[in-house]
Chains A and B, each alone.
Chain A
């Protein structure tokens, strides 16, 4: 674990991350007001959210300083399963049998 004098260096970093997060929040709001297709908006918003999330995880949650393979193993498993979980919508909406119809009536 980091020593006391490292910590004081960290504090500057924390302030830097805070400013970055605030700036990204402003950017993501601004980006959403620009005229563009929904796909572009989704990509931009998610990329910015991922960067922000990455900063929080790396700096605030100290992942940058963790020296542990075990944790990455857990993250790896979790990430794979998360991807599987996020595949559910496409499983439900895509690959219906031919001539299947959404809706009971009509």
Chain B
């Protein structure tokens, strides 16, 4: 069954006021909320339940060696990438694939920059210093949460790269369908940004 003959792939459904892809993306994001929610819940539990001192205690700021400067810079990188992502969609709405592609490329480059910063300035030096996941529950959570988040970023980059490259052919066939797909990608991308907005203070500042 080719998706063209299915209703509401492009036009919004009268009741839900969304086309299928957008509704599906939102549902997927709802499950993502539960996924990261469970991790945040574990964070609270392990932090509150940790012994005050001795083995297994929760690390203080001095012990974590996490730099808010790097984290803050990465926050800015992600926020900018969110802006360029939404600009890509806006450009498509205004009829310019050229501009949209440019914005998508910037988004992908920023995303890769985020991952590179994370790896080269945080993960690798930390692991060299012995601050590995098994070091403490803080680092266990830090690596799990940021690692899962980084995987989401990498997944996003793959999708964006697809829409810059081969996926863009769809624009010439059905510009609205393509625009919608970029909107869904955007929803996902903003969600990944949103998760980082919570991860940053929780891991770097509190």
Contacts and interface: CB of A to CB of B under 8 A. Distances in A.
Q: Do chains A and B touch in the complex (CB under 8 A)?
A: yes
B129 to A, nearest CB: 23
A92 interface: yes
B33 A7 contact: no
A97 interface: no
Interface in B24-76: 26-27, 30, 33-34, 37-38, 40-41, 44-45, 48-49, 51, 68, 72, 75-76
Given A10-B90, A67-B17, A88-B41, A28 B201 contact: yes
A14 B90 contact: yes
A17 to B, nearest CB: 8
- Secondary structure class of chain B's binding surface, majority of residues: helix
Contacts of B33: 78, 82
Given A74-B26, A85-B34, A89-B48, A41 B90 contact: no
Interface in B73-96: 75-76, 79-80, 82-83, 85-87, 90, 93-95
- Secondary structure class of chain A's binding surface, majority of residues: helix
Interface stretch (B131-139, B157-165, B166-174, B191-199): B191-199
Nearest to B30: A78
Closest 3 CB pairs of A and B: A89-B45, A45-B201, A32-B205
B30 A41 contact: no
29 contacts: A1-B12, A1-B93, A11-B90, A14-B83, A25-B200, A32-B206, A42-B206, A45-B202, A49-B197, A52-B197, A53-B197, A53-B198, A56-B82, A56-B197, A57-B190, A60-B86, A60-B193, A61-B186, A67-B17, A68-B16, A70-B18, A71-B16, A81-B34, A85-B41, A86-B44, A88-B45, A92-B45, A93-B49, A102-B49
